[in-house]
A = this chain, B = another copy of it.
Amino acid sequence: MASASVKDVAALAQVSVGTVSNVLNRPDIVSPETVERVQLAMEKLSYVRNEAARQLRLGHSQAIGLISFSGANPFFTDMAAAAENTASEAGYEVIIGNSNERSEREAGYLNLFEELRVRGVLLSPVGDVAPRLRRMRERDIPVVLVDRESSDSSFSSVSVDDVAGGALATQHLIDTGRTRLLFVGGPAGIQQVGDRLAGARSVVDQHPGVTLEVLFGESLTVFEGRRIGRIVADRAPADRPDAVFAANDLLAIGLLQSLFIDGKPAVPDQIALVGYDDILFAEASVVPLTSVRQPSRLIGETAVQILLEEADDRSLEPRHIRYQPELVVRESTTPR
């Protein structure tokens, strides 16, 4: 049996297709009896609306495209979940594509989203997207930049102040009496990591007795954290830092697992440890981890709101929202 269409419903309910459409989209302008009769017919035929036809007629879909650059990062998962909720309340769904930091995959999804005629896209740009963005603009597809600011600021953006976050973590370490700090980052070139480091530097520079060493790993993963931790643990005592600031929690958790000195955990007594993102595992790890929390859910919600407003009114000026991170103190930075 093929799916029933509005025509079939109309025939069974003895009304016209226009009325069926009205029952679907503006039930208030249809008389109650008619509404009921039509709904009964729909049920009888187990009618389901054909989204493709609707979309074709409307000119755009009821979907928002979201391109994240790391599917494994809980920060993004959270943000995406919040975006989905907000969008869903407004009758939209969110389609997610993971670029995994590859600019060709980013381009691929941008393309797919265009074919799908999405209502707008939420993007954490990786490569040089300026030309693509220009095209989106020509097409009247609104774009909101997430977690990274646009270079030309002609697109709205929702981000978090990573410089402030880096400063927050560093100030806390110094406040708890640490003086030989180590920053552990991911591959150079990730803007967020650079910003967090810049924040750390600015604070260290104001404290004459404090030093800051920097170590860049290959990736922001638990494995890499373990590897770096082992290197640090193997150093001579005088060369070891007394505090480590990891660019994200995955890295920090890896460090935590391998920072053992003379067979005993070095955190927090010998080495204080701060992570970034405050993922669920941060609280659940062997030594609960102090971390810098980003308002991931709020970011997702705000980004969708702005996007939908711009979709409704293409003449809106771009807006730039920047949230402040927050320090969550746990045992991994307990003062000696």
Contacts and interface: CB of A to CB of B under 8 A. Distances in A.
A255 to B, nearest CB: 12
A170 interface: no
Contacts of A216: none
A135 B43 CA distance: 13
A22 interface: no
Interface in A87-106: 93, 95
Interface string A282-324: 0011100000000000000000000000000000000000000
B115 A49 contact: yes
A4 B93 CA distance: 25
A174 interface: no
A31 interface: no
Contacts of A284: 222-223, 226, 254, 257
Please give the count of copies of this chain that the complex contains: 2
A68 to B, nearest CB: 14
A60 to B, nearest CB: 9
A90 to B, nearest CB: 15
A257 B286 contact: yes
Nearest to A74: B72
A116 interface: yes
A230 to B, nearest CB: 13
A302 B44 CA distance: 36
B117 A51 contact: yes
B56 A52 contact: yes
A79 to B, nearest CB: 14
B93 A112 contact: yes
7 contacts: A1-B139, A3-B139, A52-B53, A52-B56, A52-B117, A71-B77, A226-B284
